[in-house]
Structure formats: C-alpha cells, structure tokens
A and B are shown apart, each in its own frame.
Chain A
Amino acid sequence: MFPSQFTYHAPATLGEALALLAEHGDDAKVLAGGQSLIPLMKLRFAAPPIIVDINRIPGLDTIAEEGGSLRVGALVRNRAIERSDVITSRYPTMAAAAPMISDPVVRNQGTFVGSLCHADPQGDWGSVMLALDGSVVARSVAGERVIPIGEFLDGPFTSTLRADELAVEARVPDPGSEFAGTYLKLERKVGDFATVGVAVFLATSGGTVTKAGIGLTGVGATNIKATAAEQALVGGTVSDALIEEAARLAAEAADPRTDIRGSADYKRDVVRVYVARGLRAAAATPVA
C-alpha cells in the first residue's frame, strides 16, 4: 500500500513528455490510467524512479473515425469506450469487451492504450486488437511509427515499444459495411482477469466471409491470434460445420497452462466452445 519514492513530472504538452522520455529512458514510466501501474507500485513489484504523468496533455482523449480507421487516443478511458456511439454501432467486438474489463470504477480511470502497453496476456484489449488487426502509434522525439498489434505484443508484460516512445493512439481498421463481432469472457467474478477470453470479428459480403478475426485471452504467454481459424473462415459461408472447424483450429492455437483457474485441457475446450458461440452470435447479428 506504500509505493517507493519517485520524481513526478506532469508535462503539459506532448513535446515535453517526449523530451522527458528521451532524457530518462528506462528510468521513467508513463502514468496513464494508473490502474495497472499503481497497484504494482503499491505492492513494490514496480519502483520506477521517475513517473511521467501524461494525464495533463491535451488532445489525447479523442475517439474518432478518420482516414479509414478508428483512432483511440492514449487518454481514452474504458468508460468512454463503453459509452461511445461510434464504437457501439461500428465496432461490436470492442463494444462487447469494454464492460467486461475490470469493474465500473476502475474503468473510469483505466485507458485502452495503457492496457495494450501493459501487455498483460490476460488483458482483454490485446485479443480484441488482434481480432480487429489494429495497430499502435508510437511517438518519440525521433519521430513516429505505426506498429501492428501482432508485432507490438512481445511477451508477458512486454511490448516492442521503446523506452523513449509514448503510445499516442491505437488504430482499428474500418470494419466495412457488413460486419459482426463479439467478445466472450469466462471470469470467476467481476474484476477478475479472464480464465479464457475470445474476441471474434467477421466481415462479410453477400454471405461470404471476407475477413475474419479471432483473438484469445489468457491462454498463452501473450494474447494469441488464431490465424489458422481465421483463414479457414475467409472465403466460406458461415455454417455449423465451418464454425466447428474454426473453433477446433482456434483451440489448437491456444497454449494454456494449468493453474488454479482450471486445467490446460479445460481452458482449451472453453476456447473451442466460446469461439463457436462467438461466431454463431456474430453470424446471427450482423450489422449491414
């Protein structure tokens, strides 16, 4: 309950923030919603000497569709995602996941981008981003790069973001005009991390699947993209047989560990059941 000492910076501009990160490198930690970082500091599992609080930087809290993608700024809280009209109407996978993340009070603070940066294999947003083929925009004094989410998530609690970089926004490609998606999460109670989470996205054209996305939570060292299952779906028409096949392939992609939440066999089977249920639900409620 009592974090170690640190030096606190609350830059008022993005430029100042990037300069601080360039100066301090690994010694500095970005503070966004603080809902992962501060708990770690309270338990003294983390003791960064320098905190760069980005909450006073203007302009980082927008949710907007622009240039063929949805942009979610670094200070967009989970609360805002839950209540965003554009997300509710156009990004059903995100809309389904948002209310399942942590609890309503934590969601008032925690950010979407911060969650991706935290790279918790049990974090839900990573799987959603994998299913949606999203990316993270990283900015440093040296410039900007756009990192596809698959490259961004590197391992448990590690991303490919450099210490001098700030993730300024996340991007999600436009879903097209015929799409569907959902998120299913097995949690033991509200506020629990996923035993298994499954993100599903389908884009279709006249009944034929043109794009499929499946992301898995809690069943590997990072969030997992079930590529083989996605490929099996693309080009087909959604049928029971195809759904079962995709579910089987997704379960094969999972690499769970036995722990107090359940055995590896159990979790793999839940992946299968949830992918099938998610695809069925998506097929039943397409947005066109």
Chain B
Amino acid sequence: MNITVTVNGSARTSEVEPRMLLVHYIREVLGLRGAHVGCDTTSCGVCTVLLDGLPVKSCTMFAVQADGRSIMTVEGMATNGQLHPVQAAFHSEHGLQCGFCTPGMMLVAKAFLEENPAPSEEEIRWAISGNLCRCTGYQNIVKAVQAAARNMSEVSK
C-alpha cells in the first residue's frame, strides 16, 4: 500500500505491506532509529512516538493506519539545533542511563507537559507509567520532568 505520513514536519511517501508495524516503518523505512523495540506485548513503551500529538506505542499500530496523519519522533524534538526543554532536563537531571527508554519517555513527558504544565510528582509518575525504565528507578526522570516544567513556564512567562 502507498502511504503518506507527515514525520517530524515533512511529508514522507512510501510503499508498505499492510502488516508492517509502525515502529518498523519508522525505523527501517524512514531510517529514524530513536524509537526502539523492547517487548512483544505492548508493555514497555520504548517504541512510543507522538501520533497527532498524543503518545502511542508504535509497535501496536500498523503503518497503514498512520496514512494521512502526523508523527513526531525523538529526532523531531529539537528545533533549530536547540534541545527541547525536556531533552535538556533529562541531561541535567541524569534522567537516563542506558538511553534505551529515553526517546519514548521524553515524548510522553513532552505531550504530558503540554496538557499539564505544572504537575505534581504523583501526576508525573502516573503519566509515565506506560513506559518502563530498567536503569534509573524513575526518580531522576521525575526530577527531569519537573525541571522541564519549570524551564518551560519560565520561557512562556
């Protein structure tokens, strides 16, 4: 099938088998390697991308379902060479270790902060509970989201 997907702002047209999972399309057809695969049961969230602004597990969607829609991956987070505040905060707060969960976590955090710009620790923990991290114990991820929230509200003031 021929599909056209807006990926990080630019339209991409490709021929795909209907059974191709969105994550394989992003990684292998588009060559964007930030989304990973970590499980077979939609449990881990390392494949998370934003579909029309909302996080989805790209291992649990067919690429053909994204036809005509818009996707953001981690590669699209920085603008004009400037890290997104969430990216900057993951770095400054040591919110990552092996980095495998990081793209998914950051995208979830980005979408969440757009909905809830001043969250509590509990709300952050809820928001990222569809994404596993095996390295950090989450505490520094929570701190990173809090720091990003602060920085984003400074900027918008």
Which A residues are closer than 8 A to B by beta carbons? 1-8, 10, 31, 34-35, 38-39, 42-43, 51, 53, 55, 79, 99, 102-106, 108-109, 190-191
Contact = CB atoms under 8 A, between A and B. Distances in A.
A39 B41 contact: yes
Contacts, number: 86
A39 B54 contact: no
B108 interface: yes
B42 A106 contact: yes
B18 A7 contact: yes
Nearest to B50: A108
B57 A105 contact: yes
3 A-B pairs with the lowest CB-CB distances in the bound complex, closest first = A103-B130, A105-B130, A8-B18
A103 B129 contact: yes
Interface string B38-62: 0011110100100000111101111
A8 B56 contact: no
Contacts of A1: 21, 37, 40, 59
16 contacts: A1-B40, A2-B21, A6-B18, A10-B65, A34-B61, A38-B21, A38-B42, A39-B40, A39-B42, A42-B59, A104-B130, A105-B55, A105-B108, A106-B42, A106-B60, A109-B60
Contacts of A104: 55, 108, 126-130
B61 A8 contact: no
Range class of the B interface residue count: 20 to 34
B87 interface: no
Given A6-B19, A105-B57, A108-B56, A190 B130 contact: yes
Contacts of B48: 105
A105 B131 contact: yes
Given A42-B21, A105-B45, A191-B43, A34 B60 contact: yes
B130 A106 contact: yes
Nearest to B108: A105
Interface string B120-146: 000000111111000000000000000
A39 B59 CA distance: 9
